[in-house]
Chains A and B, each alone.
Chain A
Amino acid sequence: MDKELLINAIESRFPGITEASSEPFGLLTLEIAPQNLKALVHWLKDDEQMNFIFLTDICGVQYPNQGNREFAVVYHLHNLEANFRLRLKTFVGRENINVPTICDIYSAANWMERETFDFYGIIFEGHPNLKRILNMDEMDYFPMRKEYPMEDATRTDKDDRFFGRIGNESVTFDNKKALAKGNNHG
């Protein structure tokens, strides 16, 4: 399998599905709209020629200031026989943050999607058990989003001024106070 073969096969099976493609560091990256994602992944796995039987990874990425393309979900697939890796990206906005689940295609996707939800609040439609996995259930924000600080805003033992942190944060002091009070969750 090579790059041309794959792109042509996708183009003939799903015309116009690829919104953008690039190849950073030799890893073919395709951009797909969320509504087309599931059909494509299903076909990539089940088609004998495509044979992407291995899901390497799913993760979320946030690009602030990109409007309705603020959040990306990145999938790494691997065709083990041909040793060909493929990266799929799909973008969603803060308002409509839904992406179809693929955990009925790959069992491995279950926890990866839960982790992405836990970190970024991306809703995977059709996921059987979409709840927090690493953080506490009581947590009321999505900690990996850039607008939230790394440190726990409510902690009392460490004074940020002595760690050179005031002013370095993307979060302003007022914002922090609001966070500590428990409003202002995305």
Chain B
Amino acid sequence: MDKSQQIVAKDSMDGELATLNLGPTHPATHGIFQNVLTMDGERIQSAEQTVGYIHRAFEKIAERRPFNQITTLTDRLNYCSSPINNLGWDMTVEKLIGIEVPKRVDYMRVIIMELARISDHLVCNCVIGVDTGALTGFFYLFQERERIYDMFEEVCGARLTTNIGRIGGFERDFSPELYNKLNAFLKEFPKRLEDFENMLCRNRIFMDRTIDVGPISAERALNYGFTGPNLRAAGVDYDVRVMNPYSSYQDFDFKVPVGKSGDTFDRFNVRQEEIHQSLSIIRQALDKMPAGNYHADVPEFYLPPKQEVYRSMEALIYHFKIVMGETDIPSGEVYHAVEGGNGELGFYLISDGGRTPNRLHFRRPCFIYYQAYPEMIKGSMLSDAIVTMSSLNVIAGELDA
């Protein structure tokens, strides 16, 4: 480590302050985060963060990739809920070129995005459990989480980095098997989730470990640019799905859970309740699923079926133009935000009419709210700092871009 980055404990009067290097490969941080802590016994006096350990230059690479190839990058932003990122990006491009997708596509997207949100929140809440000493819940729910991956696999063939969705819709329609899996999941998962809740929510040890741990006030949270469950736990009901509905979210009836004190317990419970709301949204979408096509009728941007490419001249031309990046894209600048697993995930796209974006900036919620971490853990115990970090759900891929 570079010595100049560390806070040296020279400001202590009796020499009892210690400098502790937490990370970047600390087992309790679940990812690559470095915090140089100045400790007074067990209490944290101050913290200095270093980030960028997996900086992969997404924004630079995006300037060299055609629009439809950027989903490989968005996949790896917040890899716990990659479909939300992918579909958010597709919607951004659709907004730029002015594609109106069929209602069915919207509903299919909602189902996929809510499944992704569940899988994201499950990772976070299971890990909070693990860090407070409850490994069992992790094993319970990861079994259920695998079923979400099975469903993604059914839709697109991949588990984690899904590359789900296309500009204009989906690559193929949902299969009957997916509906079977979805219905079974909707039937059996709530029971498991309830087991998990019974185990933790009113558990004395868990409550002692999380209540009033790492709190942040609503005012500070807003000032720090918090979004998503972490902001809602502080009591602000800001949810992009409600404020700026996209993908027909206005058709669904769901609640935005909020907490009061913005502590770890509230963050846990907000996420838990959001899982229930997501399940309800998926049920509504399944019930109301409109008939129609699974993609918009935009041959300039949506790849034709492969067998058509061999048979029809028109399909061959469109196929060639899309693959070679010869399609004209209007120039302009557009900001589109979706509610990602961790909050407002924004895409700021500037196109100059070329085959690649002139500039693409991702508003990454993790990166923005993680800077509040030193303020949240100041004066707390070291073990509390670990739980606080887990409950913030900082995802390294999204943090470091």
A61 touches B350 (CB 8 A): yes
Instruction: Say yes or no: is A134 at the interface (Cβ < 8 Å to chain B).
Output: yes
Instruction: Say yes or no: is A179 at the interface (Cβ < 8 Å to chain B).
Output: no
B350 touches A111 (CB 8 A): no
Among the stretches A2-10, A102-110, A154-162, the one at the interface with B is A102-110
Instruction: Give the one of B55, B60, B64, B344 with max A CB within 10 A.
Output: B60
Instruction: Say yes or no: is A17 at the interface (Cβ < 8 Å to chain B).
Output: no
* Interfacial chain B residues near A137, Cβ < 8 Å: 2
Instruction: Say yes or no: is B59 at the interface (Cβ < 8 Å to chain A).
Output: yes
Q: State how many residues of chain A have any CB contact under 8 Å with chain B.
A: 36
B52 to chain A, nearest CB (A): 4
Q: What per-residue 1/0 map shows which CB atoms of B1-17 lie under 8 Å from chain A?
A: 01000000000000000
The answer for the CA separation of A26 and B346 in the assembled complex, in Å, is: 16
B363 touches A53 (CB 8 A): no
The answer for the CA separation of A144 and B357 in the assembled complex, in Å, is: 13
B371 touches A108 (CB 8 A): yes
* Interfacial chain B residues near A87, Cβ < 8 Å: 335
B345 to chain A, nearest CB (A): 11
A24 touches B333 (CB 8 A): yes
Q: Which of B225, B333, B348, B371 contacts A54 (CB 8 A)?
A: B225
The answer for the CA separation of A110 and B367 in the assembled complex, in Å, is: 11
B224 touches A107 (CB 8 A): yes
A25 touches B52 (CB 8 A): no
Decide yes or no: A119 and B64 within 8 Å by CB, A59-B348, A111-B368, A137-B2 being known contacts: no
Which B residue sits closest to A62, measured CB to CB?
A: B359
* Interface residue ranges of A58-105 to B (CB < 8 Å): 59, 61-62, 74, 76, 80, 83, 85, 87
Instruction: Say yes or no: is A135 at the interface (Cβ < 8 Å to chain B).
Output: yes
Which B residue sits closest to A87, measured CB to CB?
A: B335
Decide yes or no: A144 and B225 within 8 Å by CB, A80-B238, A110-B371 being known contacts: no
B223 touches A133 (CB 8 A): no
Q: What per-residue 1/0 map shows which CB atoms of B117-161 lie under 8 Å from chain A?
A: 000000000000000000000000000000000000000000000
B372 touches A76 (CB 8 A): no
A83 touches B243 (CB 8 A): yes
B371 touches A111 (CB 8 A): yes
Q: State how many residues of chain B have any CB contact under 8 Å with chain A.
A: 40
* Interfacial chain A residues near B243, Cβ < 8 Å: 80, 83
Instruction: Say yes or no: is B273 at the interface (Cβ < 8 Å to chain A).
Output: no
B401 touches A108 (CB 8 A): no
Instruction: Say yes or no: is B57 at the interface (Cβ < 8 Å to chain A).
Output: yes
Q: Which of B57, B332, B359 contacts A24 (CB 8 A)?
A: B332
Q: What per-residue 1/0 map shows which CB atoms of A145-181 lie under 8 Å from chain B?
A: 0100010000000000000000000000000000000
* Interfacial chain A residues near B57, Cβ < 8 Å: 143, 150
B55 touches A112 (CB 8 A): no
Instruction: Give the one of B64, B96, B244 with max A CB within 10 A.
Output: B64
Decide yes or no: A53 and B222 within 8 Å by CB, A61-B359, A76-B346 being known contacts: yes
The answer for the CA separation of A76 and B64 in the assembled complex, in Å, is: 25
* Interfacial chain B residues near A119, Cβ < 8 Å: 59
The answer for the CA separation of A76 and B350 in the assembled complex, in Å, is: 14
* Interfacial chain B residues near A49, Cβ < 8 Å: none
Instruction: Say yes or no: is B184 at the interface (Cβ < 8 Å to chain A).
Output: no
A108 touches B95 (CB 8 A): no
* Interfacial chain B residues near A133, Cβ < 8 Å: 51-52
* Interfacial chain A residues near B371, Cβ < 8 Å: 107-108, 110-111
* Interfacial chain A residues near B346, Cβ < 8 Å: 56-57, 76
Decide yes or no: A134 and B401 within 8 Å by CB, A24-B332, A25-B334, A107-B224 being known contacts: yes
Instruction: Say yes or no: is B400 at the interface (Cβ < 8 Å to chain A).
Output: yes
* Interfacial chain B residues near A62, Cβ < 8 Å: 359
Instruction: Give the one of A27, A111, A136, A137 with max B CB within 10 A.
Output: A111
* Interfacial chain B residues near A25, Cβ < 8 Å: 95-96, 332-335
A107 touches B223 (CB 8 A): yes
Decide yes or no: A56 and B344 within 8 Å by CB, A134-B52, A144-B59, A150-B60 being known contacts: yes
* Interface residue ranges of A102-146 to B (CB < 8 Å): 106-108, 110-112, 115, 119, 132-137, 143-144, 146
* Interfacial chain A residues near B64, Cβ < 8 Å: 150
Instruction: Say yes or no: is A44 at the interface (Cβ < 8 Å to chain B).
Output: no
B363 touches A56 (CB 8 A): yes
Instruction: Say yes or no: is A55 at the interface (Cβ < 8 Å to chain B).
Output: yes
Given contacts A80-B222, A80-B238, 12 further A-B contacts (CB under 8 A): A53-B223, A56-B225, A57-B361, A76-B348, A107-B225, A108-B225, A111-B370, A111-B371, A134-B55, A143-B60, A150-B61, A150-B64
Question: What are 17 residue pairs bridging A and B, where the CB atoms are less than 8 Å apart in the complex?
Answer: A24-B333, A53-B222, A59-B361, A61-B350, A76-B335, A80-B243, A87-B335, A106-B225, A107-B223, A107-B225, A107-B371, A107-B372, A108-B225, A108-B371, A112-B368, A137-B2, A143-B57
Name B residues whose Cβ lies closer than 8 Å to a Cβ of A: 2, 51-52, 55, 57, 59-61, 63-64, 95-96, 220, 222-225, 236, 238, 243-244, 332-335, 337, 344, 346, 348, 350, 359, 361, 363, 367-368, 370-372, 400-401
Name A residues whose Cβ lies closer than 8 Å to a Cβ of B: 24-25, 27, 29, 53-57, 59, 61-62, 74, 76, 80, 83, 85, 87, 106-108, 110-112, 115, 119, 132-137, 143-144, 146, 150
The 5 closest A-B pairs by CB, nearest first: A108-B225, A134-B52, A59-B361, A134-B55, A57-B363
